[in-house]
Structure 1
Amino acid sequence: MNTTTLNQSDCPEVKVPIPLFFTIGVVSLAENLLVVVAIVWNRNLHSPMYCFICSLAAFNTIASVTKTWENLMIVFADVGHLRKTGSPELKLDDVMDSLLCMSFVGSIFSFLAIAADRYITIFHALRYQNIMTMRRTGAILGAIWTTCGVSAVLMVRFFDSLLIMVCFVVFFVISLAVIYFLYVYMFMLARIHARKIAALGMRGTLTLTILFGAFVVCWAPFFVHLIVLMACPMNPYCECYRSLFQLHVVLLMSHALIDPAIYAFRIPELRRTFRRMLLCSNWRWCF
């Protein structure tokens, strides 16, 4: 995403080697595809929570592909095979930025869906099967992907508008607040709820909390960059923070790299599925 400006301060722009971008992109792509395939193949993982985790992994896959392809275009432009200011290249860059926007919005909605699923698991355990049916799960996923597709189209259509950047930042802040208060509410209720029932879903809630914490750490610096860009575009002190833009992008890409490691560490069934997929030569006999 091209959000850098002319550096007029004494802070030189921090450059990240292109091979590092490629390494993060390729590894995160492989990891998230592994998560998607594992959930699709293992029937024990065909439940609402894992469907939402699969959706989150799919959005991470889109982010990995987008940033890897964008870095590949930069390499081609540096060696003279692409024009950085050509009309087709700029349009393609807009499309990739819209896909990155789509992956971000999708990640937020996936976190909200998983959080709602954990809430129902903990506090409405006896009615969970009736509330969170696979049909409703499919409808929720359909709504999420439709919303994200529309947001991607709007991103391309109104990319040059400052309103898009403002909406992007506002959506991020509001989403953080909603998910944070939902977590606090769940943990507070868990303290006064029946201990056995609360323990049934608290492990999943803790996993979600770790996932969301990683999301905030990886995405927040990028959104601070957007806020600084809008608030003080010509201030040399702000320019010092903007000089770290490539590091912010590395963090952003690292989110897709970290999530599968959290799944493998926190979810035993998914970890066993990974092991079977990687060690079993005949997949038909692995599941």
Structure 2
Amino acid sequence: MSSVCKIIGVESLPVIYVHSAAILCSHFHILAVSMDRYVAIFCPLRYEGIMTSRVSGISIVWMAAGLFWLLVGLRGNIKLEETNYAVSMLIIFLFYAILVTVLILYVRIAVIAYRQNRKINDQATTPGNRISRATRTLASILGCYYFFWLPYFSVSSYIILFNYNEYHASEVLVATAAGLLLFASFNSIANVFVYAFGTKAYREWICAKCNCK
């Protein structure tokens, strides 16, 4: 993470903390979206009772508390090699844990969407595409996440498992990992465009705002 700060020309603890929090929020975002869509599809009648403002607030508080104590625990030790190794292992573990969880959720969502599409097509004269549009939007979000993050975690897994002792001595590995991490940070920006162009409500909102201007 400190290598990324060197690339952008700012290396300080607050910047490293903000960058670390942004990385973790990117992972938690894809998990939260997946859980939300899972509940919406599998419990449509109970969705409003489950996904309330109170539940969302509690989740945000717990997530913010976890991020806060994680960053406080790193204070003063962020430049130690042991701390950097531990942080790298933690982020890689979170990535693969979220990878497995999200894949399970999306496989189940895809199965139920396929079954419902078949029912709609069998009962209607014109094929329905409401679920397929939702599925495409979810697939775009997931594909965007892996497009930005998979290269970094592939290289990081190789470094951690096979080449960590030579990592700091190799300028190529350091520059590659830092560049891929900086590239992965654009995932959150890409999500804005995925929502904007993949969801009708967001497109109408943007068009309305542009017309106002």
Question: Could you state the TM-score of these two structures normalised by the residue count of structure 1?
Answer: 0.58
Larger relative contact order, structure 1 or 2 (CA cutoff 8 Å, min sep 6): 1
Runs of 4+ in structure 1 deviating by more than 4 angstroms, as ranges, are 193-196, 198-202, 238-243
**Is 1:165 aligned with 2:97?**
no
How big is the shift at 1:277?
2.5
Q: How does 1:78-157 map to 2 (within 5 A)?
A: 92=12, 94-157=13-76
Correspondence for 1:182: 105
* C-alpha distance in 2 between matches for 1:138 and 1:207: 25
Could you say if the C-alpha distance between residues 157 and 203 of structure 1 is closer, same or farther in structure 2, counting changes exceeding 3 Å?
farther
Letter paired with 2:147: V
* C-alpha distance in 2 between matches for 1:70 and 1:246: 8
**Is 1:210 aligned with 2:140?**
yes
Question: Could you state the TM-score of these two structures normalised by the residue count of structure 2?
Answer: 0.75
Correspondence for 1:259: 191
Could you say if the C-alpha distance between residues 117 and 246 of structure 1 is closer, same or farther in structure 2, counting changes exceeding 3 Å?
closer
* C-alpha distance in 2 between matches for 1:247 and 1:158: 23
Conservation of the 8 A alpha-carbon contact between 1:120 and 1:128: yes
The gaps in structure 1 that reach 5 residues or longer are: 5-66, 74-88, 282-287
* C-alpha distance in 2 between matches for 1:266 and 1:199: 14
Correspondence for 2:212: 280
Root-mean-square deviation (CA), in Å?
3.0
Identity across matched positions, percent: 20
1:170-217 CA-to-partner distances (Å, cap 9, x unmatched) read 111111111111111221233345845x97655334323311221222
Correspondence for 2:123: none
Could you say if the C-alpha distance between residues 98 and 257 of structure 1 is closer, same or farther in structure 2, counting changes exceeding 3 Å?
same
* C-alpha distance in 2 between matches for 1:250 and 1:130: 39
Question: Aligned pair count?
Answer: 197
Conservation of the 8 A alpha-carbon contact between 2:26 and 2:187: no
Instruction: Find 2:153's aligned residue among 213, 223, 248.
Output: 223
